[in-house]
Amino acid sequence: MNAPRLLRRSRPAGTVSGGAVPGGAPRPDAGPPPGVRVRDLTVVYKTPLGELPALGGVSLTIDPGTITGIVGESGSGKSTLALSLLNAVQPPGRIAGGSVEVDGLGDVLKLKGDELRGARGRHLGYVFQAAQNSLNPLKTVGKQLLDLGRSHGVDDLAALVRDARALLERMGLDGARVLDSHQHELSGGMRQRVGIMLALVLNARLAILDEPTTALDMITQATILRIVREVHKERGLTTLMVTHDIGVAAEVTDRLAVMYGGRVVEHGPTMDVLGAPSHPYTQGLIRAIPRLSGDPAEARALPGRPPTLGTLPTQGCVFRERCPLRMEVCETSAPLPVRREERTVACHAREPYASAAGRGEHA
Amino acid sequence: MKLFATRDASPAGRGGRTGHTGSADDVGTADAPIAPDPAGRRAAGRAVRRRLAGHLVRGLAMIWVVTTISFVIIRNIPGNPVLGQYEALIERGMSPDQAQRATAALYGFLPTGSLWQQYVDYLKALLHLDLGQSLSTPGTEVTTLIAHAASWTILPVLGGTLLSFLLGVTLGVYAGIKRSGKLGDALAISGSLLHGVPQYVLGLLVLAIFTTLWPILPAGGPVDVEFTPGLNGPYLASLIQHATLPVLTYALASYGGWVLAMKSSVATVLGDDFILAAELRGLSRWVLFRYIARNAILPLFTILALSLGMLFGGAIFIERIFNYPGLGLLLVNSIGARDYALMGGTFLVTTVAVIVANIAADLLYAVIDPRVRTGGAA
Amino acid sequence: MLPGGQGGARATLRRNFWRGVGRVLRRKPSRIAGVAIIALFALMAVFGPMLYPAHLPRDDNALYAAPSLAHPFGTDFEGTDVLALVVTGARYVILTGLATAIITVAVGTALGLLAGFHRGRWDTVLMRITDLQLTIPGLPLLLVLSTVWKFEGPLEMGLVLGLLGWGGIARAVRSQTLSLRERGFIEAARGLGLPTRHIIVRELLPGMAPYIAMNMLIAVTGAIYAQVGLFFLGVLPFDSNNWGVMLNLAVFGGGALTSAAALPYLLAPLLAILLLTLGIVLVVDAMDEIFNPRLREE
Amino acid sequence: GTTGNTSSSGAGGIYTTIDGSKQIDASAPINPFNPQGSTFMGYDAMSLGWPKNDLMNPDLFYPGLAGSWSVTPGQGEVVIHLRPQARWSDGKPVTSEDVRTSIGLAYTQGGSAYTVNSGAAGAAADITVVDAKTVKITQGSNRSNAFLRNVLSTVVVPAHVYGSLLPAGFWTTLKTAQGTGPAADKAKAVITGLAQKVIGFSPPADVSAGPFVLERINPGAALLKKNPYFYDAAKIVPDKVKVLNYTGNEQIWNYLVSGKLDNAPFTAVPAAVMARIKATKGNEIRKGYSPVAASLAFNQAHKPYDNVHVRRALAYLIDRGQLTRVASPEAGTPAVTTTGIHASAAKAWLGDGLAKLNPYKVDPAKATKELKAAGMVKRNGLWAMPDGKPWKVRLTVPAEFSDWVAAAKSIASQLNDHGIDATVTTSADYTLYLDELASGKLDIGFWLMALGPSPYNIYQRLYGSANGWSLLAGRLRHSPPGKDGNWMGGPEVVGGVNPGELTNRLNLATPEEQKRIVGTLAGLTNQQLPVIQLYDYVNTQFVNTTRYTGWPPAGSEALRLPAGVWMQLGMIEKK
Amino acid sequence: MISGTGITKTYRQRGNVLGGRDVRALRGVDFSIPKGGAVSFIGESGCGKTTLGRIIAGLETYESGEIVIDGTPMSSLRPKRREAEFRKIQLIHQDPYSALNPTRTIHQTLEAPLALRARRTGRPSSWVDDRAEELLSLVGIDPGYVLGRYPHQLSGGMRQRVVIARALTVDPEMLVADESVSMIDVSMRLSVLALLKDLRERLGVSVLFITHDIATARYIGDEGELYVLYRGQVVERGLTESVISGPVHPYTQSLLSAIPVLHGLERPGRERVVPTEALDERHADSGCLFARRCPFRTERCTAELPELMRVEEPPIGGLAPLPEAPGAAPHEHACFHPVRRSVIPEEAA
Ligand SMILES: Nc1ncnc2c1ncn2[C@@H]1O[C@H](COP(=O)(O)OP(=O)(O)OP(=O)(O)O)[C@@H](O)[C@H]1O
Ligand SMILES: Nc1ncnc2c1ncn2[C@@H]1O[C@H](COP(=O)(O)OP(=O)(O)OP(=O)(O)O)[C@@H](O)[C@H]1O
Ligand SMILES: [Mg+2]
Ligand SMILES: [Mg+2]
């Protein structure tokens, strides 16, 4: 391994340790990275109390070539959103409405059968939340790779293996050995990298990572985050990264969407959102993060507790019960996302700041 | 046998997956692969051998205990073989005097000496795989009788178990995947019911249906003696005809267990993350099905091995009902005749079959599960 | 020892429990049917013999009578009503089942808890014994044993069956105990200095209740089958009406499998066994939900 | 050919039957000395003669390998004339040497005529080969009237197969053994030491002098093929015989119902099944005399059964007709009364005397009187012991015998009707049952009796070892109740008569004397009731006339013999 | 109140197909936690934090070393007494989901230890309910709301508070919080930390805080001490602020470098230390345990095992020395080449 010994960084983006790719990972074919437009996406889960919305009309635009982070507390609907991008919401869940347009694919929600299956893996790379267990325990990584290739009609399997090996080596692993290993022979960090490899080896250009570093050690987490960043750039991807750890999102993403109770409450460039949060939830959240710098005494927890499907208000703003800026209108009407320059915020209290042109994203 | 004591080894009893999940090894962040270097593989081979050795030692110890228990019980069985034989001879028309002398000659070689001495002799002979001479079939080695009977037990046991395994596993996959559907429910309920019903009830019903109400199959016996044994059509046809009902009963009796076990195993696997992950990678349906089936069937193989061992001695009801000359019937008959040696031998062989099956199951697991094979988590 | 206020709280809890049970049962009609079947057999066992005179009437002119209104399942070789035999025979059968279940569960749970809770050498020894118990094939052993042991009644029968059948539960309880031990709440209870009795009875056992209850039901059925099977094989002495004896007499005495005359005599106890199995299968299905407060709700 | 009897080989066809005397054990050696051996009496195992089923005379035989025989008065000497044409299935002739070797082998097994115990009654003293086809056997000094029938029952095996089992000098050793002293004891040990070798001897193939020879055997059946060298081969019709195995009676019923069997020996059959069997085409029933009866036996060492009044009371309460109807409607006739003898034989033995015996007709009033006489008391409608303790009548039967179980249940029900608390218990199997009986654990049990035709055999069941009288080295001894298998526990002498002694005398007595003794014993038994005779068995043979005819008629003396003997007698014909 | 010297612990992993493998979870750890003090253990996964925490709470045995509670060496006590001593130290589990019995209501959970105490001390039984309510109020939840409920009906934060309340039923002198907030939602995490801090201040309960998230270690109060563990060894310790802002050991530095930077709020630290290799427990045990991964290793590091030593004054790096409060715990490290590096992010302007 020849990772740099001491890496000095001044800015997060771009300063990767050169493009020296060991083994020469294949460059994806030319063409711009895809953009994604999610419109009014509603996903409901069937519960004993009836069908409850886990996503309540989410609209989100992911610009091509960016790394977009989706942050939110447990149960805010992040995974549901990520799965929806692949039209893969699991029962008892059901996509109740909306659309997910992906450049080059069209509306993913309209895809069916083999079309959909082909899109998964080939166009849409998904790195699983519990990557620890995302491999078939009975097969070696290599065999699973071949399964993947055959399922997608890849003719040149040897080339696929070569690509995979190169990709693994790019991420600092001994490719041949890893391909020859079973899941249990790999450590958590290695499995996560294998997960990334399997998501990208068919040249998917949209990478969706659901909590890629949860359950990993700090140092390993740092490594994986670096790899995500580098691979994103090298392969020209559009990346969506779901995490509950704002720090992780802050470290790698260009843009950040904050979710609460199945809505995107704020969306904008990471630096801006963190530096000057607009939505009271974002503000509260950031203030609640334990940090290494600054005065610990200033940190505050958000009052109340995060909602669950059952406790989510069906009317008005989902955040109002914990909101310091709560107003009367919040009881009755749900705030619409309002776009102002690069930022989109969904809050009644913030509406005066919205520009006249900003109703709705990309209106 | 599907009575109560073996519930645990019957398929549904072990429905869950044998846990080979996280261990301390998974905790570390070691980025170095843990095994697949040649030294590791060799070590794994050694480990499997050591595992085998350990099993053998434990198995032998268990055999010894079982031998002792059976010796003690069997030597305490009331009922004297001499008396039984005597009355039998009398009924055959011998004079009392004659019958008495004949039995005396017959049982002239009943074990003598102190119980302790008998025990020591018994163990010594066992070391030479000598189970002694049968009392009810004088002059015949117990091992010969057992070998003959075993060959008859194997046919229906193996046939029935494999049949039900194939059927049960196939339908179990279906029931597992369509868990919430009507047909899945029906499969599960029918599985539970068949699993729950004792063998003899099934056997009697099958017999009543196919020989009394609708007599299309022979009611019992192993094979028609008219045909020369060997690989000829009539002989084999007769063999199959006679085996049909016992095999059917076996299959019915164990089918339910397989359905339930497979269903719950499939349900567990379906809940595993890697299945969703595979789906999200766009793997084809067929590959996905293989992933599910292979992972789900893994724990069932061990149960299969175990149940084969168990069924070996558990064929009593079926063999009694269908007059099938296997080990179970041998045991029943030997008890009736107070044939100590045969009784002890049959019981021992039955138990050893279970112990061997246990070892086999464990080794089988080591062979088919890479997690055990290459020594990840154990 | 218990303050009054808490007793009240406990009573409420209990009420909630039963309300939850009701909810769980109502969720599927089949479960209600299962409970009804089991209740029917329980009633049969308790009150069945009271419905008939101590010595069941015979009808010398109706040996092996065909099913009729008076005799829904016909009569036996003596002209006694088969239904009456099934009803009055239930007590023996079910009593054995219960005795077995209690012993199996008591011994199995105790040993499983002991092994799982104390680990170490205790565990090793107990588990070896359990292995042995599980390894020795039950039916052959029972056959051999039934010639040594003169079973003098349902309870004694249950005792022996129980002593032969605790292994499965012991192992299940042990592994449950081992896994629960790792759960924080057991450790916390120990850290708080709560007595072992409290830990086992109040903290460990409730979590295992579904397991134990399920095993208990399975043990009841297992014992009933084993017992009926042994009677059927004719290796047990009988001194009262018993389903197994009926099977034996129907098949070996009445030729039920040869002529249709004794078929009802054979089918009646078979049906009783099937019905009981069905009831137990249906109830076991609900067991997990009954004991899990999370599943009990809503 | 598993359903119905469709297959046939050759003109004679396959004759299907079962062996009533034993279950087939395919691993047993083809050796008649082995009790489980794969040989079948009358088919491939031959004795010198075949006993006729006479009511009184046990010495009547059909000729077997012995074409004829002569016997001196007092049975001192028996001369056997072998059939001149008799040959083994390998073509060698059957000679006197075969007989001698067979007798030598019989010595190793022990037997009444061939015993090395000096002084035993009815022991053979000398075997002389007169010529190739003639053998002379002389009886020792302690004579028994059973000598002839014992000699004629000798099973003959080929010397060229079995001869090697007898060591050189065997006959000298035998002579020594028949003496007394240490040398004799040693010689005895040598001879009995051969027993196991003989039993275990397993010839590679069957060599038979009978009409058939074993072709193949499996756990389900044995297949015998015709022996072309049989002396009367022309009389034998079937080409093959298939002997089916069975584990329980219900299998025989099944075979019969499906019309598979050409004949089946006596089997207990429930009425409904009998109806089905009779309904099957060709099935017929041949009933004959069977010297067996079922009885309820008392352990007189247990109270209150020591009291003859109690026994009589029970006899008055049991409706034998009803219980026979329940237990054995086809193969049993209710006992007319308790004599110890099967009803058919009783008429012959007792003549008018039979009518004079107490018939013990059902009579609750008499029963009550008897019970009162015994001091029993009635409490709350239930009879109790004289001391007021409850009286529980426990009837025990082996679970294996379904007719006994049914009979016992019927008796219990009847007794219950009359205020006696009776229950039925079963023992797991016959062996265990006999053991429990012998060890005195049971109060009342079922007992086979009246095993004729020899009067000694008949009364030995009541006044033999089970009741305390045993023969030891030729001398009769009486053991007290509870000792040496004396479980009946009756008195040694009753009314000045020692029934055991009388019974033993039957062995030696002349026919006239026998008649007198039997009369005495019958009267005594009727009065004392050591057992209550319940029903007399009827030898119910099943035959099927679709393939063969010529069956022995009802009541025939041959009816108890295996069908192989019927064939030898030229009875079976192809239809 | 509790201190330990030379604690070692080795796990023998049995049942592994590869035979027994020994995991040296602790290799001679010294620690001392003053009354009312706050100590944090940090380190990579598997470095032995939990093991040490459990040993301190009396839930785990150890091979050698001595633990002294309030001046009494534990090895001198009989098991019963030792248990009683260790009862002063209560463990708060990482996972509030498994720390509460799902089949028992909160009332039942709290009642059991309180009733036991009431019986022991002869208090009236009414005290039990009163005290339960009191404790719940103390940890900041409404007793009326939670008492009758089952754990699954509560949020993670509430459960963790119930767990703390349960620990308080025995009036402990110290709480061991093992990753106690890692499974609670971010928005509530701080409130539980604040509760611990509050308990420490108001009740004088010492807190042992085990975490891999170094930032949270700052939140349990002033004068907190930080122990950095690596493969069962303490490699650096000192006042929390001192270690965070001026780490000396390269391992501490890599841990701090790995913490993600909240761009927008923070600027990355000027330096960054990245280990050259991933952790492999099978690495040789000779010399400095971190040597294989250390970017600064020298030959001495692979040959010799460094002992804990005080950070020398003046500091070797180019940074200004940190003022060390008199009487406070000294900043110590186990490295042959100590250099302060500024690796943690700085507040954005
Ligand atoms: N299978 C399901 N059945 C019922 N409700 C579900 C199911 N899966 C998810 N939900 C509900 O949907 C909502 C969103 O879940 P989702 O998994 O998307 O959240 P998340 O943000 O990914 O949370 P986490 O951080 O815990 O992964 C939650 O309230 C959850 O309770
Ligand atoms: N019960 C156990 N049996 C065997 N090994 C154990 C056991 N508990 C811990 N270990 C091992 O001891 C070492 C230290 O474990 P410990 O749990 O103390 O680490 P930790 O610092 O708490 O890690 P984490 O941050 O993952 O909680 C690890 O290598 C672990 O694998
Ligand atoms: Mg998620
Ligand atoms: Mg830990």
Question: What would the pLDDT profile of E9-33 be if each residue is shown by its tens digit?
Answer: 998 765 444 445 678 889 989 999 9
At residue E272's C-alpha, the angle toward residues E268 and E274, to 5°, is 135
Within a domain: residue C202?
Answer: yes
The residues with which D128 forms a beta bridge, in sequence order, are D136
Kindly report which listed range (A86-90, B21-25, B144-148, D110-114) carries the lowest average pLDDT score. Answer: B21-25
Q: Which residues contact A317 (CB under 8 A, 6 or more apart)?
A: A323, A326, A330, A331, A333, A334, A335, A347, A348
Q: Which residues contact B241 (CB under 8 A, 6 or more apart)?
A: B217, B218, D2
Structure tokens at D175: 């002579």
Q: Is C252 in contact with C165 (CB distance < 8 Å)?
A: no
C9 shares contact with chain D (CB less than 8 Å): no
Residue A243 confidence class, pLDDT cut points 50, 70, 90? very high
For chain C, what is the domain count? 1
Residue type, E38: A
The residues with which D213 forms a beta bridge, in sequence order, are D225
Q: Is D95 in contact with D134 (CB distance < 8 Å)?
A: no
Mean pLDDT throughout B219-231? 79
Q: Point out the residues of chain D with pLDDT beneath 70.
A: 1-10, 118, 473-474
Residue with token string 């645990």: B8
Cα–Cα distance measured from residue A257 to residue D144, given in angstroms and rounded to the nearest whole number:
117
Closest residue in E to A291 (Cα–Cα): E215
Cα–Cα distance measured from residue D349 to residue E335, given in angstroms and rounded to the nearest whole number:
119
Cα–Cα distance measured from residue A324 to residue A349, given in angstroms and rounded to the nearest whole number:
10
Mean pLDDT throughout C105-114? 89
CA distances from B41 to A191, B22, B33, B359, B373 (A): 21, 21, 13, 22, 9
Within a domain: residue E242?
Answer: no
Identify the pLDDT of residue D308: 94
- The CB of A80 under 6 Å from ligand 1? The reply is yes
Identify the pLDDT of residue E19: 47
Identify the pLDDT of residue B376: 43
Q: Is D273 in contact with D253 (CB distance < 8 Å)?
A: yes
- Chain D neighbours, 3+ Cβ pairs < 8 A: B, C
Q: What are phi and psi of A212, to 5 degrees?
A: -70, -15
Could you tell me where the DSSP H helices lie in B33-141? 38-75, 81-91, 96-106, 115-127
- Separation of CA E155 and ligand 1 centre (Å): 14
| One domain for residues E294 and E194 | no
- Separation of CA E43 and ligand 4 centre (Å): 10
Q: Which residue has the higher pLDDT, B186 or B374?
A: B186
Structure tokens at D495: 């009314």
- Whether A356 shows a pLDDT value over 50: the answer reads no
Identify the pLDDT of residue B314: 60
| One domain for residues E162 and E280 | no
Within a domain: residue E60?
Answer: yes
- Whether C258 shows a pLDDT value over 80: the answer reads no
Ligand 2 pocket test, pick from E18, E42, E51 with the greatest ligand atom count within 8 Å of Cβ, gives: E51
Identify the pLDDT of residue D132: 92
| One domain for residues E186 and E333 | no
Residue A351 confidence class, pLDDT cut points 50, 70, 90? low
| One domain for residues E174 and E316 | no
Closest residue in A to B286 (Cα–Cα): A151
- Whether E317 shows a pLDDT value over 80: the answer reads no
| One domain for residues E200 and E309 | no
Q: Is B313 in contact with B354 (CB distance < 8 Å)?
A: yes
The continuous run of DSSP H or E covering D421 comes out as strand D421-427
Q: Which of residues 325-344 of B touch C (CB under 8 A)?
A: 328, 331-332, 335, 343
Cα–Cα distance measured from residue E338 to residue E250, given in angstroms and rounded to the nearest whole number:
8
Domain assignment of residue C103, given as a range: 87-295
B57 shares contact with chain C (CB less than 8 Å): no
Identify the pLDDT of residue A132: 67
Structure tokens at E345: 């992010």
Ligand 1 pocket test, pick from A41, A42, A45, A243 with the greatest ligand atom count within 8 Å of Cβ, gives: A45
From E282's Cα to the closest Cα of chain B, the distance in A is 9
B197 shares contact with chain C (CB less than 8 Å): yes
DSSP class of E61 = -
- Chain B neighbours, 3+ Cβ pairs < 8 A: A, C, D, E
Cα–Cα distance measured from residue B270 to residue B292, given in angstroms and rounded to the nearest whole number:
7
- Whether E277 shows a pLDDT value over 80: the answer reads no
- Whether A266 shows a pLDDT value over 90: the answer reads yes
For residue B25, the ligand 2 atom closest to its alpha carbon is 31
Domain assignment of residue E75, given as a range: 2-14+21-222
Question: What average pLDDT does chain A have?
Answer: 83
- Separation of CA E254 and ligand 4 centre (Å): 19
Closest residue in C to D324 (Cα–Cα): C78
Cα–Cα distance measured from residue B156 to residue B163, given in angstroms and rounded to the nearest whole number:
10
Q: Which residues contact D519 (CB under 8 A, 6 or more apart)?
A: D349, D350, D353
Within a domain: residue C92?
Answer: yes
Instruction: Centre a 10 Å sphere on the Cβ of residue B177 and count the other Cβ atoms it contains.
Output: 16
- The CB of A79 under 6 Å from ligand 1? The reply is yes
Of D220, D203, D125, which is closest to residue D164 (Cα–Cα)? Answer: D203
Cα–Cα distance measured from residue A81 to residue B273, given in angstroms and rounded to the nearest whole number:
18
Q: Read off the CATH number of the domain in which E208 is found.
A: 3.40.50.300
Identify the pLDDT of residue E172: 92
Please state whether at least 3 CB pairs lie below 8 Å between chains C and E.
yes
Q: Do the chains contact at B283 and A181, CB–CB below 8 Å?
A: no
Kindly report which listed range (A9-18, A72-81, D83-92) carries the lowest average pLDDT score. Answer: A9-18
B291 shares contact with chain A (CB less than 8 Å): yes
Q: What are phi and psi of E167, to 5 degrees?
A: -65, -35
Mean pLDDT throughout B182-191? 80
Q: Which ligand is nearest to the CA of A43?
A: 1
The residues with which A70 forms a beta bridge, in sequence order, are A242, A257
For chain E, what is the domain count? 2
Which residues on C lie below 8 Å from E113 (Cβ)? 189, 192-194
Q: Do the chains contact at C236 and D428, CB–CB below 8 Å?
A: yes
Size of interface B-C (CB pairs under 8 A): 161
For chain B, how many helices (H) and strands (E)? 15, 0
Within a domain: residue C137?
Answer: yes
Within a domain: residue C79?
Answer: no
Q: Which ligand is nearest to the CA of A89?
A: 1
Residue B108 confidence class, pLDDT cut points 50, 70, 90? low
Residue C296 confidence class, pLDDT cut points 50, 70, 90? low
Identify the pLDDT of residue B198: 83
Q: Which residue has the higher pLDDT, E180 or D375?
A: D375
Identify the pLDDT of residue B102: 67
| One domain for residues E190 and E268 | no
Cα–Cα distance measured from residue D163 to residue D145, given in angstroms and rounded to the nearest whole number:
30
- The CB of A354 under 6 Å from ligand 1? The reply is no
Q: Do the chains contact at E150 and C293, CB–CB below 8 Å?
A: yes
Which residues on C lie below 8 Å from B341 (Cβ)? none
Instruction: Centre a 10 Å sphere on the Cβ of residue C28 and count the other Cβ atoms it contains.
Output: 15
Complete edge-to-edge strand list for the sheet that includes strand E233-239: E89-92, E174-178, E206-211, E38-42, E225-230, E233-239, E332-333, E309-310
Cα–Cα distance measured from residue E159 to residue E156, given in angstroms and rounded to the nearest whole number:
5
Report the nearest-CA residue for atom 3 of ligand 2. E11
Identify the pLDDT of residue D22: 80
Q: Do the chains contact at C253 and D405, CB–CB below 8 Å?
A: yes
Cα–Cα distance measured from residue D551 to residue E271, given in angstroms and rounded to the nearest whole number:
115
Q: What interface predicted TM-score (ipTM) does this complex get?
A: 0.77
Cα–Cα distance measured from residue D124 to residue B303, given in angstroms and rounded to the nearest whole number:
65
Please tell me which of the candidates D253, D402, D409 has its beta carbon nearest to residue C78: D409
Identify the pLDDT of residue E21: 64
Cα–Cα distance measured from residue E333 to residue E328, given in angstroms and rounded to the nearest whole number:
16
Best mutation site among B98, B210, B329 for testing chain D: the one with the most D CBs within 10 Å?
A: B98
Closest residue in B to C169 (Cα–Cα): B8
Q: Is B121 in contact with B133 (CB distance < 8 Å)?
A: no
For residue E229, the ligand 2 atom closest to its alpha carbon is 21
Q: Is D341 in contact with D450 (CB distance < 8 Å)?
A: yes
| One domain for residues E165 and E25 | yes
- Whether B5 shows a pLDDT value over 50: the answer reads no
Q: Do the chains contact at A150 and B376, CB–CB below 8 Å?
A: no
- The CB of A311 under 6 Å from ligand 1? The reply is no
Instruction: Centre a 10 Å sphere on the Cβ of residue C195 and count the other Cβ atoms it contains.
Output: 13
- Whether E157 shows a pLDDT value over 70: the answer reads yes
Identify the pLDDT of residue C115: 86
- Whether A15 shows a pLDDT value over 60: the answer reads no
| One domain for residues E194 and E261 | no
Report the nearest-CA residue for atom 22 of ligand 1. A79
pLDDT tens-digit map of B140-173: 888 888 988 888 888 778 888 888 899 989 888 8
Residues in chain A, total: 363
| One domain for residues E93 and E196 | yes
Q: Is A144 in contact with A136 (CB distance < 8 Å)?
A: yes
From B132's Cα to the closest Cα of chain D, the distance in A is 13
Q: Which ligand is nearest to the CA of A77?
A: 1
Residue type, D533: Q
Closest residue in D to C232 (Cα–Cα): D399
DSSP class of B79 = S
Closest residue in D to C79 (Cα–Cα): D326
Strand A36-47 versus strand A93-102 pairing type: antiparallel
Residue C12 confidence class, pLDDT cut points 50, 70, 90? low
Identify the pLDDT of residue C128: 84
Q: Read off the CATH number of the domain in which C191 is found.
A: 1.10.3720.10
| One domain for residues E185 and E310 | no
Within a domain: residue C244?
Answer: yes
Closest residue in B to E20 (Cα–Cα): B47
Which residues on E lie below 8 Å from C183 (Cβ)? 98-99
- Chain E neighbours, 3+ Cβ pairs < 8 A: A, B, C
| One domain for residues E195 and E256 | no
- Whether B296 shows a pLDDT value over 80: the answer reads yes
Within a domain: residue E234?
Answer: no
Q: Is B253 in contact with B199 (CB distance < 8 Å)?
A: yes
Using a 6 Å CB cutoff, which residues line ligand 2? B 24, 27-28; E 11, 13, 23, 25, 43, 45-51, 212
Q: Which residues contact C183 (CB under 8 A, 6 or more apart)?
A: E98, E99
Structure tokens at D275: 């109806």
Around ion ligand 3, residues with a beta carbon closer than 5 Å are A 79
Of B270, B275, B301, B290, which is closest to residue B363 (Cα–Cα)? Answer: B301
What 3-state class would DSSP assign to D384? strand
Identify the pLDDT of residue D2: 38
From D36's Cα to the closest Cα of chain C, the distance in A is 23
Structure tokens at E19: 């035979």
- The CB of A47 under 6 Å from ligand 1? The reply is yes
Q: Which residues contact D39 (CB under 8 A, 6 or more apart)?
A: D30, D31, D32, D45, D206, D208, D214
Measure CA of the first residue to CA of the last residue in chain C; give whole Å: 34
Domains within chain B, CATH numbers bracketed: 38-76+111-373 (1.10.3720.10), 77-110 (no CATH)
Q: Do the chains contact at D34 and B138, CB–CB below 8 Å?
A: yes
| One domain for residues E210 and E92 | yes
Identify the pLDDT of residue E17: 41
C183 shares contact with chain E (CB less than 8 Å): yes
Structure tokens at D149: 């029938």
